[in-house]
Amino acid sequence: MQNQIPDSETLLERITIDPEIAHGKPVVRGLRYPVEFILELLSAGMTPQEILQDYDDLEEADIYAALAYAARVTRIKQIIPLTN
C-alpha cells in the first residue's frame, strides 16, 4: 500500500534553500539533493521507486516535493522566447 501524499503546501515545506548547501540551490530537506537532480532523474525515465532504491535517505514525499516545487516555479504570467 502506497503512503498518502501530503498537499502541495506541506510538500513545499520539504524544500529548503541555504547558501551553505548546494551553493544555495533548492534542495530536499536540507540534504544535498538539489531539486533539479531529482527532476533530472525523473526526466531520464527513473520511477520514484527506483530513485528511492538508489538513494535510501530520500522519502517518497521528497520526490513529490521536487515536482511541487517545479510546478510552483513555473507559474509565471508570460514566457518571452529568446532571440538569437
CATH entry, 8-73, from 2.60.40.420, 1.10.3720.10, 1.10.10.10, 3.60.15.10: 1.10.10.10
CA angle 68, 70, 72 (to 5 degrees): 70
Name the pTM for this structure: 0.82
Across the range 51-74, mean pLDDT stands at: 95
Please state, for a pLDDT cut of 90, what percent of the chain lies above it. 75
pLDDT tens readout for residues 19-52: 999 999 999 999 999 999 999 999 999 999 999 9
As a whole number, the mean pLDDT across the chain is: 90
Q: Where are the beta strands (DSSP E) in the chain?
A: 15-16, 27-28
Only one residue has cell 513529490, namely 64
Confidence check: pLDDT of 1 > 60: no
